[in-house]
Amino acid sequence: MDRLLQSVKININENIYVKDPESSDLGKRIIQESILMVNEMGFESFTFKKLGVKIGSNESSIYRYFENKHKLLLYLASWYWGWLEYQLVFATNGIGNPKEKLKKAIEIVTKVTEEDSSFSHINEVLLNKIVINEYSKSYLTKEVDAENKEGYFIIYKRLVTRISDMIKAINPDYKHPSSLSSTILEGSLHQYFLKDHFPSLTDCKEGNDTSTYFQNLVFSTIKP
Amino acid sequence: MDRLLQSVKININENIYVKDPESSDLGKRIIQESILMVNEMGFESFTFKKLGVKIGSNESSIYRYFENKHKLLLYLASWYWGWLEYQLVFATNGIGNPKEKLKKAIEIVTKVTEEDSSFSHINEVLLNKIVINEYSKSYLTKEVDAENKEGYFIIYKRLVTRISDMIKAINPDYKHPSSLSSTILEGSLHQYFLKDHFPSLTDCKEGNDTSTYFQNLVFSTIKP
DNA sequence: CCAAATATAATAGTATTACTATCATATAGT
DNA sequence: ACTATATGATAGTAATACTATTATATTTGG
């Protein structure tokens, strides 16, 4: 997988950034360090000023890449979902059996994140933690409808649709394929959050517990 | 139901507030108007200064009830979950059949919110909208572990546990009762959010769609 | 290789937020 | 009427989230 991915670039809506952070060294440092910092101090405490100090650059220079930190969060989240989508498509493409295919898809989107050496400036493990802790904040806003119209959530929506389509392929009569798909994606993040902070509210403790939980949930629910 | 509830007070952890807002007229106006305002402008734009203007009071007076707006959000959320818990216990108490009981419980926590005249200063319909749009922000913070230790989320946790226990009563061998219970509560809020902002990601369009979705999900998954 | 374009850095300034502190006034209970 | 307690008014502070301007590097095209 590594070799192939080396030439892949995750494609992100151009309106999310002012200048493409992939286009320069400073841009990549902004992404790289913002992942470390947001993970470390949380999105609320994170500021462009602090990021500037950390990367030895200036606040005003960061504003040339992103309008504000909310847009940066949208960028990081889009990158994460784009990366997951790529893995999902790659891993399920050759599978003919619809049930095997969906099973694999659920495994991909619910399993514990592992480092991907193809993107050296991005720490996928920490980025996954950011998505678990901060993604909701990117859409639980008053601007969500306008931003949705701008296409800022398109990759995430496409991912939900892909899994929804796989569910339909197994049981075209099941009444809630989209709800079930969105429940898997959002619910998986939530179970990981609970594991770390409210362990009594989840049974997903380690390894592939989360995958097992959702695979069982989905296949019991949709039957053939 | 109305008569009985008139003497009920939702019991909220005393450390969430500085002074009990139920203990005075100003306190109740703070709660009443904050629900309208947070719903109207979103939690980010909401400030104590603006609230003061709206209720014809002073910023500094509001600080005598809540340390900050985060604590006020914790209060509103706790009140909401306490209110839901009361309805759940009340509605399921007499039901002997475990399946009927769980079915009713899921209906209560997933159905569309209706006004409850027992609490005249609280608009439950708007409060439900606030919980849908803002609740995640109350725990997706760096302080979550400390605040959990303080007991700020205890009502919500008790609700999850209640439903988890009902699942266990039906099938003691099912491996993920807590995960399933937390998926219902959190997933229900999410489906309502999707309905309003990402309709293509949900099949829950109106009336009792959400209840039907989750009842079907749960009973298919746990079987007998 | 020089000029011009472009990228980055430095500095300053602004409105708003999220408070804290102090003092004044109103009201309520004994 | 006295005194506690609740509320209101005002002022002040550090930090945030920017915008604007100017200066200095760095790149690149002729």
Domains of chain B: which residue ranges?
2-222
| Contact (CB<8Å) B201/A178 | yes
What pLDDT sits at residue B120? Answer: 87
* Cβ pair B184, B109 in contact under 8 A: yes
d(CA B18, CA B23): 11
Q: Which among A137, A129, A139, A138 has a CA at the least distance from the CA of A195? A: A129
Residue A12, pLDDT score = 95
Beta-carbon count within 10 A of B105 CB: 26
pLDDT in tens, B33-57: 999 999 999 999 999 999 999 999 9
Closest C-alpha among B217, B212, B87, B97 to residue B162: B87
Let me know if domain B2-222 sits in CATH 3.40.50.300: no
Whether residue B135 contacts residue B77, with contact meaning beta carbons closer than 8 Å, is answered with yes
3-state secondary structure of B18: coil
Nearest one of B202, B217, B201, B187 to A159, comparing CA atoms:
B201
> For the packed helices B98-110 and B209-222, what is the interaxial angle rounded to 10 degrees?
140
Report d(CA B45, CA B29) in Å as an integer: 19
Residue A90's pLDDT is 95
CA-CA-CA-CA dihedral for B128, B129, B130, B136, to nearest 10: 90
Query: Which of chain D's bases lie under 7 Å from a protein CB?
Result: 6-11, 16-21
Q: Looking at residue A2, what is its pLDDT?
A: 46
What percent of chain A has pLDDT above 90? 93
- Quickly count: other Cβ atoms within 10 Å of residue A208's Cβ: 13
The C-alpha atoms of residue B179 and residue B149 are separated, in whole angstroms, by: 21
One-letter amino acid at A113 equals T
Q: Give the C-alpha separation, B140 to B162, whole Å.
A: 23
| Spacing of B59 CA from C22 C1' in Å | 15
* A6 contacts: CB under 8 Å, gap ≥ 6: A118
The residues close to strand D, meaning Cβ under 7 A, are: A 45, 47-49, 59-60, 63, 67-70; B 19, 24-27, 56-61, 64
Residue A35 · residue A126 · CB < 8 Å: yes
Test B198 with A153 for CB contact under 8 angstroms: yes
Q: d(Cα B119, Cα B123) in Å, to the nearest integer?
A: 8
Per-residue pLDDT, B2? 47
Q: Please tell me the predicted confidence (pLDDT) of residue B86.
A: 96
Confidence of residue B224 (pLDDT cuts 50, 70, 90): low
pLDDT of B4 higher than 80: no
Can you read off the two tokens belonging to residue B167?
A: 């699942």
How far, in Å, is the CA of A205 from the C1' of nucleotide D29?
A: 60
* Mean pLDDT of all residues in B91-113: 97
Give the per-residue pLDDT at A5.
47
Q: Mutate which of B37, B134, B167, B183 to test chain A, going by most A C-beta atoms within 10 A? A: B183
C-beta separation of B189 from A179 below 8 A: no
Measure B35 CA to C27 C1' (Å).
Answer: 28
In whole angstroms, give the CA distance from residue A178 to residue A147. Answer: 21
Rounded-to-integer distance, Cα B126 and Cα A196, Å: 31
Handedness of CA A139, A141, A143, A145 (dihedral sign): positive
Region at A112 (left for phi over 0; alpha for psi -120 to 50; beta for the rest)? beta
B 46-85: CB within 7 Å of strand C: 47-49, 59-60, 63, 67-70
Record: contact A178-B200, CB cut-off 8 A = yes
What is the average per-residue pLDDT within A114-136?
A: 95
Structure confidence at residue A1 as a pLDDT band (50, 70, 90): very low
Position B96 pLDDT exceeds 60: yes
The terminus-to-terminus CA distance of chain A in angstroms comes to: 32
Note the pLDDT tens digit of each residue in B63-85.
999 999 999 999 999 999 999 99
Confidence of residue B27 (pLDDT cuts 50, 70, 90): very high
Closest C1' nucleotide to A59's CA:
C9
Q: Do A217 and B221 touch (CB under 8 A)?
A: yes
CB B178 within 8 A of CB A201: yes
Query: CA at B60, C1' at C19: how many angstroms apart?
Result: 10
Q: Residue type at B95?
A: I
Q: Specify the pLDDT at position B5.
A: 47
